[in-house]
């Protein structure tokens, strides 16, 4: 169970841990020894942990009674909790029956009590437990759910199952080593989950312009439409790439350097242009993505030239890349420096062809 939080006087408690029989509190500022202080507990956090922990005891006990599923561990999470059951399979019918049974016990207002026993008391051996810590000292605590369960436990618990309000089993997940994880919420977490789901439902109703029962079908239709639009967009980009390349090649005297940026493009778009133009005579510097942020780049041209300039282009663009056979491509973090790359390439070509 997670530790408590609160205040020692005006100083917040950051963490609490146990060392033997002592509770060690971590605080951001020193406290003067001997000072009288008032302790304030974060009750909302404490009560949440009480509900989840007592709920786990109840679920584990009933799961073992009904189906013989033993609990091997559990986790009290920030949003949901999980019980690890020593079974490879828990059916939906079993989950439903278990949820029904634990909520019946809540409605029966079964009391929960805490007892302390000496560590060597023979009764300790009869109580459900996963063992004591090696550094344990003093008596042991036994948490009893009347006529349902007795369990060794150092955590905080409710005094009556009615304080749990309700338990919702969210389903099961595959665990490790032929075990099954049972996911659950207790009490106020159930209410918060319903509130969140209702808010999401209202937002979707407004966006999709239909009732909650039609949300799934509406989203499926939207997904289909998006896939179709994406396919059509890709086809158009391919056609544009071919037209750009043909327009360049149709000019009487094609330039030795071809530079192009397109925000909506992708790697395939750039490679189509490079394929269509050919790179034996022309050096191509192509970029796609946001003009001032991150994107993709492609440097294509004579093999030796690209091998020489590729790493320098990637460095200028604040990115990384790799290449072979006259092409060097990668990701660019600083697309705003495309002008510097173009100047570098132009200077290189001028040096290669002084009379050009």
* Closest by CA position to 132, among listed 155, 114, 154: 154
Res. 132: pLDDT tops 80: no
Point out the least confidently predicted range of 104-113, 221-230, 259-268.
259-268
Supply the mean pLDDT for the chain.
92
Predicted local distance difference test score (pLDDT) of residue 356: 47
Summarised one tens digit per residue, pLDDT across range 45-104 is 999 999 999 999 999 999 999 999 999 999 999 999 999 999 999 999 999 999 999 999
Question: Measured between alpha carbons, how far is 20 from 118 in angstroms, rounded to an integer?
Answer: 16
- What is the architecture of the domain spanning 43-131+138-205? 2-Layer Sandwich (3.30)
Confidence of residue 281 (pLDDT cuts 50, 70, 90): confident
Question: Measured between alpha carbons, how far is 149 from 110 in angstroms, rounded to an integer?
Answer: 11
Q: Are 301 and 257 in contact (CB under 8 A)?
A: no
The domain spans of the chain are: 6-41, 43-131+138-205, 229-352
Question: Measured between alpha carbons, how far is 129 from 123 in angstroms, rounded to an integer?
Answer: 12
Q: Are 235 and 243 in contact (CB under 8 A)?
A: no
Summarised one tens digit per residue, pLDDT across range 287-296 is 999 888 899 9
Predicted local distance difference test score (pLDDT) of residue 325: 87
φ, ψ for residue 123, nearest 5 deg? -65, -25
Res. 185: pLDDT tops 50: yes
Mean pLDDT in residue range 168-178: 95
Q: What is the DSSP letter of 162?
A: G
Question: Measured between alpha carbons, how far is 232 from 120 in angstroms, rounded to an integer?
Answer: 76
Mean pLDDT in residue range 124-153: 85
**Complete DSSP assignment for 231-298:** HHHHHHHHHHHHHHHHHHHHSSS--SEEEEEETT--HHHHHHHHHHH-SSS-EEEEEEE-SSS-EEEE
Point out the least confidently predicted range of 19-33, 245-259, 308-322.
245-259
Point out the least confidently predicted range of 66-70, 121-125, 198-202.
121-125
Summarised one tens digit per residue, pLDDT across range 301-322 is 998 999 999 999 999 999 999 9
What residues are paired with 81 via a beta bridge? 76, 184
**Complete DSSP assignment for 71-98:** EEEEEE-SS-EEEEESSS---HHHHHHH
* Closest by CA position to 62, among listed 167, 140, 142, 162: 167
**Angle of helix 92-107 versus helix 43-67 axis, rounded to 10:** 120
Domains 43-131+138-205 and 229-352 share a fold: no
Res. 163: pLDDT tops 80: yes
Q: Which fold is adopted by the domain 229-352?
A: Diaminopimelate Epimerase; Chain A, domain 1 (3.10.310)
Res. 355: pLDDT tops 60: no
How many CB atoms within 10 Å of residue 335? 23
Question: Measured between alpha carbons, how far is 158 from 223 in angstroms, rounded to an integer?
Answer: 47
Mean pLDDT in residue range 259-267: 90
**Complete DSSP assignment for 11-53:** EEE-EEEEETTEEEEE-SS---TT----EEE-HHHHHHHHHHH
φ, ψ for residue 330, nearest 5 deg? 180, -160
Going by their DSSP bridges, the two strands 140-145 and 283-289 should be labelled as: unpaired
Going by their DSSP bridges, the two strands 22-26 and 15-19 should be labelled as: antiparallel
Question: Measured between alpha carbons, how far is 105 from 86 in angstroms, rounded to an integer?
Answer: 23
What residues are paired with 309 via a beta bridge? none
Question: Measured between alpha carbons, how far is 294 from 300 in angstroms, rounded to an integer?
Answer: 20
Confidence of residue 354 (pLDDT cuts 50, 70, 90): low
């Amino acid at each position: 169970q997670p530790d408590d939080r609160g205040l020692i006087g005006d100083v917040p408690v950051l963490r609490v841990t146990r060392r033997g029989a002592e509770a060690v509190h971590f605080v951001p500022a020193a406290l003067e020894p001997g000072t009288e202080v008032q302790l304030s507990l974060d009750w909302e956090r404490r009560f949440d942990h009480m509900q989840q922990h007592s709920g786990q005891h109840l679920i584990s006990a009933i799961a073992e009674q009904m189906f013989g599923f033993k609990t091997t561990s559990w986790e009290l999470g920030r949003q949901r909790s999980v019980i690890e059951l020593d079974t490879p399979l828990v059916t939906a019918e079993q989950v439903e029956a278990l949820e029904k049974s634990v909520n019946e016990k809540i409605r029966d207002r079964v009391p929960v009590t805490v007892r302390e026993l000496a560590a060597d008391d023979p009764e300790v051996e009869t109580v459900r437990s996963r063992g004591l810590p090696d550094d344990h000292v003093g008596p042991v605590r036994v948490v009893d759910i009347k006529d349902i369960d007795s369990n060794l436990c150092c955590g905080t618990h409710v005094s009556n199952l009615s304080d749990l309000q309700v338990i919702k089993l969210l389903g099961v997940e595959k665990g490790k080593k032929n075990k099954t994880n049972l996911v659950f919420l207790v009490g106020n977490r159930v209410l918060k989950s319903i509130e969140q789901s209702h808010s999401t439902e209202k937002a979707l109703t407004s966006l999709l312009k239909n009732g909650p029962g039609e949300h799934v079908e509406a989203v499926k239709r939207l997904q289909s439409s998006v896939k179709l639009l994406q396919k059509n967009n890709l086809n158009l980009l391919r056609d544009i790439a071919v037209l750009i390349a043909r327009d360049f090649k149709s000019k009487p005297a094609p330039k030795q350097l071809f530079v192009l940026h397109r925000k909506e493009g992708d790697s395939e778009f750039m490679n189509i242009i490079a394929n269509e133009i050919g790179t034996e005579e022309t050096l191509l510097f192509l970029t796609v993505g946001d003009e001032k942020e991150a994107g993709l780049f492609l440097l294509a041209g004579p093999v030796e030239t690209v091998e020489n300039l590729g790493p320098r282009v990637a460095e200028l663009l604040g990115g990384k890349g790799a290449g072979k056979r006259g092409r060097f491509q990668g990701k660019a973090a600083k697309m705003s420096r495309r002008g510097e790359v173009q100047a570098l390439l132009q200077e290189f070509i001028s040096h290669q062809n002084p009379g050009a």
